[in-house]
Amino acid sequence: MNVVFISPHFPLYYYNFCKNLKIRGVNVLGIGDAPYDSLPTHTIDAVTEYYEVGSLENFYEVEEACRFFSEKYGKIDWIESQNEYWLETEATLRKIFDVNTGTKIDDMAPMKYKSKMKDVYRACNIPVARYILVSTYEEAIKFTNEVGYPVVVKPDNGVGASSTYKLKNNDEVAYFFATKDNNITYIMEEFINGHVETFDGITDSNKNVLISSSHVMLKSIMDTVNTASDVAFYFQPFEGKDIEFIGKQVVKAFDTRSRYFHFEFFRLDQDKEGLGKKGDLVGLEVNMRAPGAYIPDMINYAYDVDTYAIWADMLIYDKTFVDINRKYVVGYASRRNGIDYTNSYEDIKNKYGDKIKIDTEVPEALAAAMGNHVFIFRTEREEELMEMIRFILKRNGEGNWI
């Protein structure tokens, strides 16, 4: 089996996807724009061969790399990256090289355009926020008159919370139109007073869920990026709850064949006319790749499994060989540089010991959404989990938000 993996070196822990394929006898053919000599040893060991391109943004270089691999190793069986930024590159390459183990570019729109995602959610009878595709200032003002302020604007085809803003009045709408990138199509949505809950997992070729999880975001990524605040979320027990039932509905509605997936929903924090009652779920976005921010590792710690291995077995055998039984709840808390926190790193490690599973700095390219220094930890009790989040993020003086 020949698997092309785009950017095996970044994010830093993605070499785990490659490693688990290679140890199962797969030819893992990496394409990246980092010089070979700069790659960590664990990344070099995780691939069969690495093809360096000048830029992954240059599609023709990436296509030439795939052509080189297909001539040397034979037909390509899979093209993957697990990275939102490269999904359309993957899909275009699948069409060119006749790779049928994933979505091709002609069918990619519902997975990349936020407006198209809403159509699929609605087809599942899942409510979504009202929206327009931004064209003129006058149409935007008409929309805000209908739904009220604030409103949220973001690229219709965007990654994460980049270029995402909450606009509170006509002046801010006018400023947005005066400064926006006219090469980007933006979507404007009514603001929803709620918090984000996810449904994440891995499917087989028949869209059966092999392993899944759900995480509760304690602050929105939009606010995290725009206010440079610290970050916290946690794995929640979800078995038998609405997030599992609705999540599996959405799995069936999208092209989730043989995928790692990451779906986002709003949980309403108050009644919202036209959407539901407090506590109801509202469709937000879908991502047809592994969740970021070390969430695959959080799933590992919750179940005491290796989801990178489960993903590899799915690609090769279309099934998993492990029992999936949750044992822990897992939390994520990330600090920002420049904030005066009460407890030192040593205080945290001394207090919680081996309950801390990851303690690491975040690369600058990812720090806007993930924070600068991440702690991931697990316990059997939800109460202790929240205590740990509060201890890690406790600030001196004012400004504590949890």
For each of the domains in the chain, give its residue range(s) and CATH number, in order of start. 2-107 (3.40.50.20), 130-190 (3.30.1490.20), 194-393 (3.30.470.20)
Q: What is the pLDDT of residue 226?
A: 62
Distance CA 98, CA 290 (A): 23
314-345 burial code (b ≥16 CB/10 A, e <16): bbbeeebeeeeebebbbbbbbbbeeeebeeee
pLDDT band per the 50, 70, 90 thresholds, residue 368: confident
Residue 120 pLDDT greater than 70, yes or no: yes
Distance CA 402, CA 399 (A): 9
> What tokens appear for 96 in the block?
């060119």
Residue 300 has what DSSP assignment?
A: H
> How does pLDDT run across 238-272, given as a tens digit for each residue?
999 999 999 999 999 999 999 999 999 999 999 99
The answer to whether residues 276 and 126 touch, using CB atoms and an 8 Å cutoff, is: no
173-188 burial code (b ≥16 CB/10 A, e <16): beebeeeeeeeeebbb
Residue 164 pLDDT greater than 70, yes or no: yes
Q: How many helices (H) and strands (E) does the chain have?
A: 15, 17
Neighbours of 113 (CB within 10 A): 18
Q: What is the pLDDT of residue 55?
A: 98
pLDDT band per the 50, 70, 90 thresholds, residue 341: very high
Residue 367 pLDDT greater than 80, yes or no: yes
The answer to whether residues 93 and 65 touch, using CB atoms and an 8 Å cutoff, is: no
Residue 260 has what DSSP assignment?
A: E
Contacts of 289 (CB under 8 A, 6+ apart): 81, 82, 83, 84, 87, 259, 260, 261, 262
Helices (H), ranges, 124-254: 137-147, 170-179, 221-227, 242-253
Residue 223 pLDDT greater than 80, yes or no: no
191-217 burial code (b ≥16 CB/10 A, e <16): bbebbbbbbbbbbbeebebbbbbbbbb
Check the CA dihedral 275-278-280-285 and report its sign: positive
- 78 forms beta bridges with 3
> How does pLDDT run across 192-207, given as a tens digit for each residue?
999 999 999 999 999 9
> How does pLDDT run across 268-326, given as a tens digit for each residue?
999 999 999 999 999 999 999 999 999 999 999 999 999 999 999 999 999 999 999 99
Cα 397 from chain centroid (whole Å): 33
> How does pLDDT run across 16-45, given as a tens digit for each residue?
999 999 999 999 999 999 999 999 999 999
> What tokens appear for 28 in the block?
């893992």
Residue 220 pLDDT greater than 90, yes or no: no
Q: Which residue has the tokens 């183990």?
A: 101
> How does pLDDT run across 344-366, given as a tens digit for each residue?
999 999 999 999 999 999 999 88
Burial (CB count within 10 angstroms: exposed 0-12, middle 13-18, buried 19+), residue 361: exposed
62-92 burial code (b ≥16 CB/10 A, e <16): bbebbeebbeebeebbbbbbbbbebbbbbbb
CA atoms within 13 A on the CB side of 35: 2
What rounded mean pLDDT belongs to the chain? 95
Determine which helix (DSSP H) or strand (DSSP E) holds 121, and give its type and residue range: helix 114-123
pLDDT band per the 50, 70, 90 thresholds, residue 394: very high
Percent of the chain with pLDDT strictly greater than 70: 97
Q: Is the peptide bond before 110 cis (omega within 30 degrees of 0)?
A: no
Q: What is the pLDDT of residue 158?
A: 81
Percent of the chain with pLDDT strictly greater than 90: 91
> What tokens appear for 392 in the block?
């890690």
* Region 317-338 average pLDDT: 96
